[in-house]
Structure 1
Amino acid sequence: MAYDFTVGGRISKPVHEVFEAVVDPKKLSGYFTTGGAQGRLETGSTVTWDFHDFPGAFPVHVVEVERDKKIVLRWGAAPDDDPAGAYETTVTMTFEGLEDGRTLVRITESGWRDNAAAQKASYGNCEGWTGMLCAMKVYVEHGINLRDGFYK
């Protein structure tokens, strides 16, 4: 059984504003990538995300961007102890404008291998994406960076 997960939440802002909070590296750096994001998310590009809790910039391959609807990314997944070696997972973010003006964001990460190392790594990433959604909500709605100083 391969591992995957989906997390989601509602943000009290219009879909375009929420979508831009992910694709714009300056905005993404304001609440998620504690070490900074380089490059706007555009189909076919490779950008980098850096985190204080996992030092070193991660390359993020942008597979697809559909404005205000969907972002599909691929990035390295293999933990150091995965006996099968390096591989990538796929992250799919969807953005749905709701009738009340809020936006429903769902993030799915799939493609994890069927072994103990991948299971452990998937749990860590599930925690990370949940934290990202919470931080994005507070940043987009109130301009507060929840992650500031959290990992230093």
Structure 2
Amino acid sequence: MELKFRVAARIARPVAEVFDAVVNPDTLSRYFTTGGAQGRMETGAVVQWSFHEFPGSFPVNVVEVVANERIVFDWDADEPDAPYKTRVTMEFEALEDGRTLVSIREEGWRQTPDGLKASYGNCGGWMQMLCALKAWTEHGVNLREGMFK
């Protein structure tokens, strides 16, 4: 069985605003990367994300950015004894009613107990990211503030 998942949410904001809230490190740091984000997500860039709940910063290798449509990046799998990368694909779709459908897929874990555990953890993390994105862009509320420190 291939370890992968997809989560999605509808955000009541135009696609350009939602997309910018992800690629812009200043905005991303306000609602998701609790330790901050450094670098704008652009094709070929390596940006850094930090989270209070995990020590250190995480390099995010940006593979592709298509404005207002898609972000693809690779980052380290959460398996300390067997380093490798997984691939994350974020898709942004403008809906007829002015909302944006954001879908996040992640795949590439090894089919091991640690890979399964890591995939479940990231699935929950990406769903939390979508909830935080929705709360921030629609209401200016940071759901993650104070959760992890």
Identity of aligned residues (%): 60
1:55 to partner: Cα distance: 1.7
Instruction: Name the structure 2 match of 1:53.
Output: 53
Instruction: Name the structure 2 match of 1:71.
Output: 71
Of 129, 132, 140, which residue of structure 1 is paired with 2:137?
A: 140
**Is 1:42 equivalent to 2:39 in the alignment?**
no
**Is 1:91 equivalent to 2:63 in the alignment?**
no
1:143 to partner: Cα distance: 0.7
**Is 1:112 equivalent to 2:109 in the alignment?**
yes
Instruction: Name the structure 2 match of 1:124.
Output: 121
What are the superposed Cα offsets for residues 33-53 of structure 1, whole Å, 9 maximum, x if unpaired? 000000000000000000000
Structure 1: gaps (5+ residues) = none
Structure 1 residue identity aligned to 2:92:
F
Question: Where in structure 1 do 4 or more consecutive aligned residues deviate above 3 Å?
Answer: none
Count of residue pairs the alignment pairs up = 149
Structure 2 residue identity aligned to 1:56:
G
What secondary structure, in the 3-state scheme, does the structure 2 residue paired with 1:30 have? helix
1:79 to partner: Cα distance: 1.6
1:142 to partner: Cα distance: 0.7
1:78 to partner: Cα distance: 3.8
| In 1, Cα distance between equivalents of 2:78 and 2:99 | 35
Structure 2 residue identity aligned to 1:108:
R
Provide the TM-score with structure 2 as the length reference.
0.98
| In 2, Cα distance between equivalents of 1:55 and 1:139 | 24
What secondary structure, in the 3-state scheme, does the structure 1 residue paired with 2:31 have? coil
CA RMSD in angstroms comes to: 0.7
Structure 1 residue identity aligned to 2:124:
E
Instruction: Name the structure 2 match of 1:11.
Output: 11
Provide the TM-score with structure 1 as the length reference.
0.96
1:2 to partner: Cα distance: 2.4
